[in-house]
């Protein structure tokens, strides 16, 4: 089995989730079985995963797994269906707050029931109060219609104990929050009550996660071929996957620069997300980078013994490669777009500045930014974009459009794509842009954009953080229709590097390596480990 490991599958996805989904679709298209594995508890994981094309039978969440809730027939739970232990309760709807107030006959507050702001008013959580109006418990409901997480509050209104229950209400996981000498509440341990009553205690969620990985490895164990774990967020499982009690083929996937300063990959301190993994490279069976440049840099800096693979994280589907090519003359002249979170690392205020310079010569030029704003540091990145808009007088010229899924429509209309990131791991958005014939402009940033964008072929790569150079590159294209069309044609043609056939060939090489090394891994397995699967059963 092939497992793709992540934290959760949010509605608004980062590049890692999009990369995972592309891979998941690719494996499905080639009839190679895989599972999306999510470590974090998420009451709407199945809603978001299903919407992203992941069926329940290919989704395994760690908490679902222990809660015996991997496969549950969904239902919509309404407030009036909940038993509060008090007769003849009354419901007062507060639509402005998306909740019901539940009171006893004497007017005493029994509960607040929070529901989805949709027509069906699905219950999300209930806040329960004692006879003195003290909050003592909050029940969180899974989107499929059952209580999943129960939080018990202390007298000073802190979460003391958290319990996860099965759809039938049996407690299977408990975690305990204790106050430190500094007065902070921290988790002091995890208790797992497995089916059959076997109780296990773990100090950290990492230890619980390792046990989960061991169970998955056991469940799909075969001496004929290894289970392949692709770790997409290394901090979630690097410790556990490198300590499996039975062997598997473990892959660490680099989705971003391994160095904290992506422009100095050979000397800069390590990216804190990859620090453990980069210091344990030879413990993995394989490391995947999305670009040849990063694979080269990892090899040069660390000289690992483990296998290094270069596999693009994006796939341009055949239907797009075979679609009608939209000539520049039919596109909106001067329309620049970017699909990116409005975040510090995307540096979109520089793209605004570049467009501001271009706009002085070509007033018809506009910029549309598609992506949600990062709330970090009180939405500092969005504020920087807004300040740049005011600086260049671009009100009405630059528009923050928010998140959209209408990529084809937007990109078949626009003319140019801009990328001004401080660091990248690949950048699916610019790959999608060239596959739609958009002329691409990017900083010379590691990793991805300076490989996807081929200078003077499908656009221009300009010096890092030089927005004036980007502006001049855009102006050159706008002044020369023949050059613009040549770049657009080059964009369509260069996107064939990321065809399904080419990317699948790269993954097939990794899977073939897993099969090739498996006999040696089996031979090195301690004799007693062969009996572990029987014990688990």
231-259 pLDDT per residue, tens: 999 888 999 999 999 999 999 999 999 99
For domain 320-497, which CATH number applies: 3.40.640.10, 2.60.40.10, 3.40.720.10, 3.40.50.2000?
3.40.50.2000
Looking at residue 444, its pLDDT comes to 96
Which has the minimum average pLDDT: 178-187, 454-463, 471-480? 178-187
Token pair 């290894």 is at which residue?
Answer: 226
Q: What is the largest CA-CA distance in the chain?
A: 80
CB 251 within 8 A of CB 259: no
Q: By CB neighbour count within 10 A (0-12 exposed, 13-18 middle, 19+ buried), where does 463 fall?
A: exposed
Looking at residue 527, its pLDDT comes to 72
Percent of the chain with pLDDT over 70: 98
Mean pLDDT value across residues 308-315? 95
Which has the minimum average pLDDT: 349-358, 375-384, 402-411? 402-411
Tens digit of each residue's pLDDT (9 = 90 or more) over 3-55: 999 999 998 888 899 999 999 999 999 999 999 999 999 999 999 999 999 99
The per-residue b/e assignment along 434-451, b for 16 or more CB within 10 angstroms, e otherwise, is bbbbbbbbbbbbbbbbbb
What sign has the CA pseudo-torsion 267, 273, 279, 283? negative
Nearby residues of 283 by Cβ (< 8 Å), 6 or more positions away = 242, 306
Hey, do 2-73+211-310 and 79-206 end up sharing a CATH topology, with the first three levels equal?
A: no
CB 148 within 8 A of CB 64: no
Angstrom distances, CA of residue 114 to CA of 111, 138, 192, 298, 484: 10, 11, 29, 49, 54
Give the DSSP H or E segment for 536. helix 532-536
Percent of the chain with pLDDT over 90: 88
Segments making up each domain of the chain, as ranges: 2-73+211-310, 79-206, 320-497
Nearby residues of 258 by Cβ (< 8 Å), 6 or more positions away = 265, 270, 271, 274, 278, 294, 297, 298, 301
Nearest Cα to Cα of residue 307 among 297, 317, 316, 299? 299
Local structure of 410: helix, strand or coil: helix
- 68 — pLDDT class (breaks 50, 70, 90): very high
Distance CA 534, CA 203 (A): 26
Angstrom distances, CA of residue 404 to CA of 9, 282, 315: 17, 40, 19
Residue 447: asked if its preceding bond is cis (omega within 30°), the reply is yes
Tens digit of each residue's pLDDT (9 = 90 or more) over 500-524: 999 999 999 999 999 999 999 999 9
Distance CA 51, CA 11 (A): 9
The architecture (CATH level 2) of 79-206 comes to Alpha-Beta Complex (3.90)
Looking at residue 529, its pLDDT comes to 65
Report CA dihedral (356, 358, 360, 363) to the nearest 10 degrees: -100
- 536 — pLDDT class (breaks 50, 70, 90): very low
Structure tokens at 339: 């699909």
Rounded to 5°, the CA angle 380-384-385 comes to: 120
| Residue 533 pLDDT exceeds 80 | no
Nearest Cα to Cα of residue 230 among 240, 241, 244, 222? 241
Local structure of 304: helix, strand or coil: coil
Mean pLDDT value across residues 57-63? 98
| Residue 118 pLDDT exceeds 90 | no
Looking at residue 349, its pLDDT comes to 98
CB 169 within 8 A of CB 176: no
Looking at residue 438, its pLDDT comes to 98
DSSP letter (8 states) at residue 339: E
pTM for this one? 0.89
The architecture (CATH level 2) of 2-73+211-310 comes to 3-Layer(aba) Sandwich (3.40)
Distance CA 111, CA 477 (A): 63
Token pair 């908490």 is at which residue?
Answer: 63
Considering the chain, what is the average pLDDT of its residues? 94
Tens digit of each residue's pLDDT (9 = 90 or more) over 388-413: 999 999 999 999 998 888 899 999 99
Token pair 């996981």 is at which residue?
Answer: 173
Compare 65 and 537 and report the one with higher pLDDT: 65
DSSP letter (8 states) at residue 395: B
Local structure of 157: helix, strand or coil: coil
Distance CA 438, CA 458 (A): 8
| Residue 528 pLDDT exceeds 90 | no
| Residue 74 pLDDT exceeds 60 | yes
Distance CA 353, CA 418 (A): 11
What is the DSSP pairing of strand 135-142 with strand 286-289?
Answer: unpaired
Looking at residue 362, its pLDDT comes to 98
């Amino acid at each position: 089995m092939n497992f793709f490991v992540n934290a959760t599958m949010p509605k608004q996805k980062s590049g890692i989730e999009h990369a995972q989904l592309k891979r998941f679709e690719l494996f499905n298209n080639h009839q190679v079985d895989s599972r999306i594995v999510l470590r974090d508890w998420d009451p709407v994981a199945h809603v978001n995963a299903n919407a992203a094309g992941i069926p329940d039978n290919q989704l395994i969440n760690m908490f679902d797994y222990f809660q015996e809730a991997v496969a549950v027939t969904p239902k919509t739970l309404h407030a009036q269906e909940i038993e509060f232990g008090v007769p003849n309760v009354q419901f007062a709807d507060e639509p402005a707050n998306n909740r019901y107030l539940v009171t006893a006959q004497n007017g005493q507050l029994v509960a607040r029931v929070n529901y989805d702001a949709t027509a069906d008013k699905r219950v999300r959580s209930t806040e329960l109060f004692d006879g003195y109006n003290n909050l003592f418990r909050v029940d969180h409901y899974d989107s499929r219609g059952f209580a999943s997480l129960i939080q018990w509050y202390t007298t000073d209104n802190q979460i003391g104990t958290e319990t996860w229950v099965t759809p039938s209400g049996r407690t299977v996981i408990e975690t305990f929050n204790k106050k430190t000498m500094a007065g902070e509440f921290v988790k002091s341990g995890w208790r797992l009550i497995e089916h059959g009553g076997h109780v296990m205690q773990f100090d950290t969620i990492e230890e619980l996660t390792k046990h989960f990985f061991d169970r998955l490895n056991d469940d799909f164990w075969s001496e004929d071929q290894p289970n392949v774990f692709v770790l997409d967020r290394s901090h979630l499982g690097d410790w556990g996957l490198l300590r499996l009690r039975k062997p598997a083929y473990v892959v660490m996937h680099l989705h971003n620069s391994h160095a904290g300063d992506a422009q100095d990959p050979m000397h800069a301190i390590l990216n804190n997300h990859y620090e453990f993994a980069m210091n344990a490279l030879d413990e993995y069976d394989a490391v995947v980078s999305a670009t040849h440049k990063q694979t080269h840099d990892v090899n040069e800096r660390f000289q690992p013994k483990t296998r290094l693979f270069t596999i693009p994280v994006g796939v341009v589907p055949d239907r797009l490669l075979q679609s009608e090519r939209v000539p520049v003359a039919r596109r909106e002249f001067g329309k620049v777009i970017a699909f990116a979170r409005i975040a510090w690392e995307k540096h979109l205020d520089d793209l605004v500045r570049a467009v501001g310079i271009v706009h002085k010569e070509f007033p018809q030029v506009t910029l549309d930014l598609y992506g949600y704003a990062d709330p970090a540091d009180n939405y500092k990145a969005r504020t920087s974009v807004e300040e740049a808009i005011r600086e260049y007088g671009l009100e009405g010229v630059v528009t923050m459009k928010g998140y959209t899924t209408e990529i084809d429509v937007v990109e078949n209309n626009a003319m140019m794509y801009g990328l001004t990131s401080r660091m990248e791991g690949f950048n699916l958005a610019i790959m999608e842009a060239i596959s739609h014939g958009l002329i691409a402009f990017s900083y010379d940033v590691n990793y991805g954009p300076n490989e996807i964008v081929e200078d003077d072929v499908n656009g221009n790569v300009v010096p890092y953080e030089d927005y004036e150079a980007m502006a001049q590159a855009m102006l050159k294209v706008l002044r020369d229709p023949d050059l613009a069309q040549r770049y657009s044609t080059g964009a369509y043609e260069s996107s064939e590097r990321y065809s399904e056939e080419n990317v699948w060939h790269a993954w097939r090489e990794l899977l073939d390596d897993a099969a090739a090394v498996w006999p040696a891994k089996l031979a090195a397995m301690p004799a007693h480990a062969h009996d572990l699967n029987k014990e688990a059963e």
